[in-house]
Amino acid sequence: MYLIAGLGNPGGEYEHTRHNAGFDVVDALADELGCRYWKTEGGALTARGAWRGEDVVLAKPQSYMNTSGGPVKTLMKTYGVDADHLIVIHDELDIDPGTIRVKFGGGHAGHNGLRSIGDKLGTRDWYRVRVGIGRPPGRKPVVDWVLSQPKKDDLEAFQHAVALGSDAVRFLVEHGLEKTQQKYN
């Protein structure tokens, strides 16, 4: 079984913002896998499904980005999922918009959701699907950038990256990290 956790912030004011890329990818996965029933458990919205014979739990932590680690840890314990079967999807400033990168392990690069998960789990070794959002233009503060919705060309790139993220997660579950990196990185 895999736990696939998309990071974001709950609430209508955050819907489809750059920082909620993880939520958007999980929603796309739910559509692809035919998951229609969401429930609240362990501090997250969850849906169960399967892909190529593997059971999956889709999760959108509802505790806000900076405290995502609590719900992720609770769900891992509930479902008996080890860190090597955890896939976390998140926005990434240092990757160009419209692109994604997949990796296993690593630091948090200042991303508070990743920091929270690492702190709660006591390890940094889990899969990451990083959705590129790029750096803000000019002197725009990072917080304003990540909490805004992409417009026009940026919106097309964002939606493309969300679709790629959904594809990459399914490919990762089926084919493993090396083949996924060869195809998507």
SS3 3: strand
Measured on CA atoms in the order 81, 70, 119, 141, is the torsion positive or negative?
positive
CA distances from 88 to 105, 113, 138 (A): 11, 10, 30
- Chain centroid, CA 133 distance in Å: 13
Rounded distance, CA 60 to CA 4, Å? 9
Catalytic hit among 19, 85, 90, 111: 19
Q: Kindly report the backbone phi and psi dihedral angles of residue 5, in degrees, each rounded to the nearest multiple of 5, phi listed first.
A: -110, 120
Q: Is residue 19 among the annotated active site residues?
A: yes
In one-letter notation, the amino acid at residue 20 is N
Rounded distance, CA 8 to CA 19, Å? 6
Catalytic residues: 19
